[in-house]
Amino acid sequence: MTTAHAKTIFTSEPFIPSWAKVASIYAEMGNAWTLQFEVPEGQDVPTFQPGQFAMLYAFGIGEAAISHSGSAAPRESLRFTIRPTGATTCALTRLSVGDTVGIRGPFGRGWPLEQAQDRDLIIMAGGLGLAPIRPVLKNIQMARTSPRRTALIYGARQPEHILYRDEFDDWAASGVEVHQIVDRATGAWDGAVGLVTHLVPKVSLDFENMVAFLCGPEVMMRFSAIALEDAGLPAERIWLSMERNMKCAIGHCGHCQFGPAFVCKEGPVFRFDQIRTNLFCKEI
């Protein structure tokens, strides 16, 4: 790649990656790494919307869709949390400070923050699904989005796997009602153990005037969406972030097709009532 290509990270040339250098990399709990990138002088870093993703290219190995997990603060504009699941993500999590990757994006439709304005917001996240939610919480902290009240229900496998564990207190301090729940616990954990859906009745929000953002394993999102609906929240106010295997990220190749929609273009964030049929249809 030549520097002639490296001007703006995706505007008019969506297939051509720009370069970014690893500024920091650190291990999170639960087998995940958070990487922060910086771009060479003269390159613009485009602003992303919470819920959007980028394509990160480990040179010679492959590209993977990774959600932006940073904030609107300049030094957090290229921050990602990655779990090694295959060749590309393994390579990305083994990078060192100063190493270079290719990057395209931001892509996709993020969280509909305007829907949360002046309404209550319930966020249900599981495991690594907290990564695309973090920008929403940072936005709330920075008063860029102002739901009336916000509650976060976060589920993890066990207490040792809670992602961003140092940030929960900050979110609580900014007014977010924080609930954590794990599947199993040993030792000193005195929090809740069970499914995320168990905490829905404990949330002190106004279900009549609320929106929900869900992100996590698909089965978890299905059960959570149904639990919210049963609690009185209409399906058209529930939003889910979907994942499908992705290649081009701009709606051309069809790899990420989800029924009639492409996750990269119409998603990854979808409205529950609009994807409901396909969500409950096997092997879509």
Ligand X SMILES: Cc1cc2nc3c(=O)[nH]c(=O)nc-3n(C[C@H](O)[C@H](O)[C@H](O)COP(=O)(O)OP(=O)(O)OC[C@H]3O[C@@H](n4cnc5c(N)ncnc54)[C@H](O)[C@@H]3O)c2cc1C
Site string for ligand X, 59-78 (x = CB under 6 A): ---x-xxxx-----------
95 lines the binding site for ligand X (CB under 6 A):
no
Candidate list 19, 68, 77, 83; residue touching other proteins; CB under 8 A: 83
Buried b (16+ CB within 10 A) or exposed e, 146-182: ebebbbbbbbbebbebbbbbeebeebeeeebbbbbbb
Q: State which residue, 165 or 247, has the beta carbon closest to ligand X.
A: 247
CA distance 224 to 205: 16
Partner interacting with residue 243 (select from other proteins, ligand X, none; CB below 5-8 Å by kind): ligand X
- The 117-136 site mask, x for binding ligand X (CB under 6 A), equals -----------x--x-----
47 binds, among other proteins, ligand X, none (CB under 5 to 8 A by kind): none
Given 3, 24, 31, 277, the residue binding other proteins (CB under 8 A): 31
Which residue, among 195, 198, 274, has the nearest Cα to 238 in the 3D structure?
Answer: 274
Cα(7)–Cα(58) distance, integer angstroms: 19
Q: Which does 246 bind (CB under 5 to 8 A by kind): ligand X, other proteins, none?
A: ligand X
Q: What's the min distance (Å) between Cβ of 269 and ligand X?
A: 9
Report d(CA 259, CA 252) in Å as an integer.
15
Kindly state the tokens that stand for 84.
């090694």
Q: In whole angstroms, what is the distance from residue 284 CA to residue 270 CA?
A: 15
By CB neighbour count within 10 A (0-12 exposed, 13-18 middle, 19+ buried), where does 226 fall?
A: middle
Where along the sequence are the contacts to other proteins (CB under 8 A)?
Answer: 30-32, 83-86, 90, 126-127, 155-157, 161, 183-186, 189-195, 198, 201, 216-217, 219-220, 223
Where along the sequence are the contacts to ligand X (CB under 6 A)?
Answer: 53, 62, 64-67, 80-83, 85-89, 128, 131, 243-246, 263, 268
